[in-house]
Chain A
């Protein structure tokens, strides 16, 4: 039966090819626009560490004593002392301190000129916690954190630039004025967003594309980085002037992040308690004025920072409104197409086809239009993503269609066309056979 409908549908499509082409075009354009923006949304709002992210938490305490702030909540980062105190207590399964800076990098044994590269100074657990893939070597040892060992992990991009992509483990790289031994080289790694560096999103007025930049090029143990690049650290914010700029360990500034991994609710509750206790203890010592703390999961933290750029969200809404117009358009055209063939449907009904059979035939025809529109939509989506990759945004290079979204393109096209076909098919199946036969 279905094969017969397909045959009828095919014949129907070729009757009035102009109208058919119009509908296919409308669906293709609507699907192309929606899928382009939806793919970008999907890439930007996705979970960067599926399965793991629910166990990763960003810890905050309120170390700022100034009373002027309108919103009394912990600042986005920690001061050095709080960060190191919390980390040294080892109350979480795994934990990572992070601090960003820009450092001058040279391969000591090459004639290349130096470059400025983004550096992340962190602790050994960082790599295991965030599933960072290695190409050569691995993370440094836990002792290296405390020993301030002169070791580093570099990105695959930097390895390419400095060493032409060969295994550079054991080679020496010069960070500012210090020689550091490479212990690991990362495989190409492009988390979206660069979640562990996300902060201050709510002050950026929706302009958050920069959260999707590529990861750092150089990774060093926390204290090693602070030692090597002393004087070049920028605070997130300060509540008083810095006695020695760029050297922030004792400054009244926040500039360090702390991520912790907690396996279950009991551990989470315990860690919250630990943070609260720490804040109260610091208050009684006179170092804190306020005792607010915050512990959010990775995805909560991303939401809190509104990571998806507002332009991207706007584009998605626009694309779906556009698809709605295309849907309306297709309903009208299908209605015209089916009612024009009232004679044919009347004849089929008179020859014994049930209403249901006519209805099914019409839906099959709509689905065929949807499928053709889906192919057009897929091609337009590829073109749309190609255009996005040429945009100046930091996430541009991420815009590719994955298998899931490819399937979804056709599902959406079919759904749209079936939805559009529903009302016209119902009308067609209600055609009174006698009336139409008279007119023939």
Chain B
């Protein structure tokens, strides 16, 4: 196809061609970045939790009377015993926080006692002897906690005891702190006094609450601390089919142990996860709607202008047809013209996409737009342009040669 005559014709309608190019450029810049935002959101909502999500339910309670009435450690043990005896419970634990539970306990850890600033901020799960089994965590190196390593939370809170002697960390946290070295046996410091030794590594364990950084989301550890009532929530493991019945039974059981208690919340962990990411799903849906609307608006704009051009050039097309141009040649003329304009738009749009990406990185702490989004955006717009111009171009191709002989 000879593009020289097309360029010559375009020069005579610079404004309209420029408008389409600008529209394509804007769409391209926005679509590349929005597609990236969508995948980023969806990626976040697929973060592995590391726990047996489909088998867990949790119960949070409050209001068991004034503190100091009886020993909250004993109360926790009683409640846990009552819950474990419910039918269908495979394992039960009391823990300070749950994945996707929003309320989070975080601790700064150091690699040396005299270090000025902490090496990492870590989500700290306080685990009793049943936690590994109940959560269904996958221990990939080292061991679980030994019975003499457990501390009582009330003692920890009052600062009566040294920091725990052992810790189990996630693989992500091990890599973050120790690189490729074997983390087992290494020490971390929770305060300036005594070291805490890494005794085990679990594959994944997500924090209750995290931002867009997925490395940070998986930076958690387990400390051997038995929770007391008031600070802990109960997590029970059961068959997926038994979960609803178990929640009802557990509420009833806890009420019968202490009637004054209020159940703050109780839910299946899979539902908790789904709720946690609801905002992300809404946002992703909204972004998809934006991309689709942009494509539609842009396509309609191209259809409108192309139809106008075809109508204006009816006579010119008629003359070309009369001089021997085939229908296919007329069709290709408009298709090529569209391709050229869209290409200019895409080139501008890619620059724009990088500019927007730079701004997003500053404002929203997002990573830079990966390169492969650019060809995806370009292909989408090329296809869109060709699709939009097809109908007007076909109409142009069907202009009869006899038009040339008429005055209009």
A310 at the interface (CB under 8 A from B): yes
Chain A residue contacts of B286, Cβ below 8 A: 315
A177 touches B66 (CB 8 A): yes
**CB-nearest residue of chain B to A333:** B304
Chain B residue contacts of A392, Cβ below 8 A: 275, 278-279, 282
Q: Which of A19, A207, A322 contacts B304 (CB 8 A)?
A: A19
**What is the CB-to-nearest-CB distance from B280 to chain A, in angstroms, rounded to a whole number?**
9
Of B165-173, B198-206, B292-300, B378-386, the one contacting chain A is B292-300
What does the 1/0 interface line of B20-36 toward A look like (CB < 8 Å)? 10110011001000100
B262 touches A207 (CB 8 A): no
What does the 1/0 interface line of A226-247 toward B look like (CB < 8 Å)? 0000111000000011111110
Q: Which of B26, B231, B262 contacts A328 (CB 8 A)?
A: B26
Distance of A114 Cα from B301 Cα, bound (Å): 61
Chain B residue contacts of A181, Cβ below 8 A: none
A88 at the interface (CB under 8 A from B): no
B212 at the interface (CB under 8 A from A): yes
**What is the CB-to-nearest-CB distance from A142 to chain B, in angstroms, rounded to a whole number?**
29
What does the 1/0 interface line of A382-399 toward B look like (CB < 8 Å)? 000000000111000000
Distance of A321 Cα from B37 Cα, bound (Å): 15
A335 at the interface (CB under 8 A from B): yes
Q: Which of B67, B278, B297, B364 contacts A29 (CB 8 A)?
A: B297
Distance of A335 Cα from B287 Cα, bound (Å): 30
A340 touches B300 (CB 8 A): no
Distance of A311 Cα from B281 Cα, bound (Å): 12
B308 touches A336 (CB 8 A): yes
B279 touches A391 (CB 8 A): yes
A318 touches B16 (CB 8 A): no
**What is the CB-to-nearest-CB distance from B279 to chain A, in angstroms, rounded to a whole number?**
6
B301 touches A333 (CB 8 A): yes
A243 touches B159 (CB 8 A): yes
- The answer to whether residues A318 and B282 also contact, given A114-B262, A242-B157 and a CB cut-off of 8 A, is no
A335 touches B19 (CB 8 A): yes
**What is the CB-to-nearest-CB distance from A252 to chain B, in angstroms, rounded to a whole number?**
10
Chain A residue contacts of B212, Cβ below 8 A: 205
Distance of A333 Cα from B19 Cα, bound (Å): 10
**What is the CB-to-nearest-CB distance from B156 to chain A, in angstroms, rounded to a whole number?**
8
Size of the A side of the interface (Cβ < 8 Å), in residues, is: 56
Distance of A246 Cα from B153 Cα, bound (Å): 14
A231 touches B67 (CB 8 A): yes
**What is the CB-to-nearest-CB distance from B266 to chain A, in angstroms, rounded to a whole number?**
14
What does the 1/0 interface line of A316-352 toward B look like (CB < 8 Å)? 0010011011101101110111011000000000000
Q: Which of B158, B279, B304 contacts A393 (CB 8 A)?
A: B279
Q: Which of B158, B264, B283 contacts A245 (CB 8 A)?
A: B158
A325 touches B264 (CB 8 A): no
A176 at the interface (CB under 8 A from B): yes
A112 at the interface (CB under 8 A from B): no
**What is the CB-to-nearest-CB distance from B19 to chain A, in angstroms, rounded to a whole number?**
4
A336 touches B157 (CB 8 A): no
**CB-nearest residue of chain A to B108:** A68
- The answer to whether residues A332 and B20 also contact, given A114-B63, A231-B67, A321-B26 and a CB cut-off of 8 A, is yes
**What is the CB-to-nearest-CB distance from B165 to chain A, in angstroms, rounded to a whole number?**
18
Which of A241, A311, A332 has most chain B Cβ within 10 Å?
A332
Q: Which of B52-88 contact A (CB under 8 A)?
A: 62-63, 65-68
**What is the CB-to-nearest-CB distance from A428 to chain B, in angstroms, rounded to a whole number?**
12
B179 at the interface (CB under 8 A from A): no
A104 at the interface (CB under 8 A from B): yes
20 additional A-B pairs beyond A232-B67, A329-B304, beta carbons within 8 Å, are: A22-B300, A22-B301, A22-B303, A102-B62, A104-B262, A114-B260, A116-B62, A116-B264, A176-B63, A241-B158, A245-B154, A315-B286, A324-B26, A326-B297, A335-B15, A336-B307, A391-B279, A392-B279, A392-B282, A423-B15
Pull 17 A–B residue pairs with CB atoms less than 8 Å apart, ordered by A: A116-B264, A206-B211, A206-B364, A209-B279, A231-B66, A241-B158, A241-B159, A313-B363, A314-B37, A314-B364, A315-B286, A322-B290, A329-B297, A329-B300, A336-B307, A337-B308, A392-B282
> What 9 A-B pairs have minimum CB-CB distances, sorted nearest first?
A241-B159, A336-B308, A205-B211, A231-B67, A329-B301, A328-B23, A332-B19, A104-B63, A333-B304
B residues near A, CB below 8 A?
A: 15-16, 19-20, 22-23, 26-27, 30, 34, 37, 62-63, 65-68, 116-118, 154, 156-159, 211-212, 231, 260, 262, 264, 275, 278-279, 282-283, 286-287, 290, 293-294, 297-298, 300-301, 303-305, 307-308, 311-312, 363-365
